[in-house]
Amino acid sequence: MSLQILGEINKNYLTALRVHDELSQVFEFIGLQGYSLWHFYQYLEESCTQRKIKAYITDTYGVYCVDEAPPNVNIGEPLLKGKTRKGLKIETSWDIVKKAFAAYCAFEEKNLQLYQQKALQAFQNGDISVFNFISDLVRDVKNELTYLNGKMAELASYNYEMAQISAEQDTYYERYTHLIGTLFKPKEQYHHYNSAVSKLDDV
């Protein structure tokens, strides 16, 4: 039963990766490199999480986790179909930014509901290990949503002013360049291991 719950969560992560990939492309298209990298970071971060989900499934149940093809998330195409970068007007970009943020927020709200529901199911099954594992995912998506809601309140406070949005792209690009670097930092245990190896090499 809990295996099925985790399989459904894995499936949703495939959708999540599609959502972040499409949003990254949407912001890239309209020239907002900082927001584009924000979504690429989320793509990478959630890809790492999905790997943990698959590892948990294999480590706990000893089975291979089968991926289904992710559904069409239908974000990029409705926003950009038929448009060209050269033909973009400021009103069009403004509209795309608003709709892209709204789609992002709606998706994460749905995720939070889904993971909470799955955590509850695991708890009711008495599977506390799986409950704890899913609780970490609930915490992650809640943090993502809190940050996003704060950003959307800020954007609304100046009515998604494009000049302001363009001006902050460098800051976002720097922030997410840094955060992407933190995803692949060596673990402390390997530092110890490597220093032990280098000591042996020095002998």
Binding site for Fe ion (CB under 5 A): 42
Q: Which of 31, 146, 33, 152 is nearest to 93 (CA)?
A: 31
Task: Calculate the CA dihedral of residues 85, 91, 94, 95 and round it to 10 degrees.
Answer: -90
Q: Which residue has the tokens 């892209």?
A: 100
Kindly tell me which of 2 and 12 has the beta carbon lying closer to Fe ion: 12
Q: How far is the CB of 148 from Fe ion (least distance, A)?
A: 9
Q: How far is the CB of 183 from Fe ion (least distance, A)?
A: 14
* Amino acid identity, position 120: L
Kindly tell me which of 136 and 170 has the beta carbon lying closer to Fe ion: 136
Q: How far is the CB of 24 from Fe ion (least distance, A)?
A: 11
Kindly tell me which of 38 and 133 has the beta carbon lying closer to Fe ion: 38
Q: Select the residue whose beta carbon is closest to Fe ion and give its number.
A: 42
Kindly tell me which of 42 and 50 has the beta carbon lying closer to Fe ion: 42
Q: How far is the CB of 119 from Fe ion (least distance, A)?
A: 17
Q: Where are the alpha helices (DSSP H) in the chain?
A: 2-29, 33-61, 76-80, 90-124, 128-157, 162-167, 169-183, 188-202
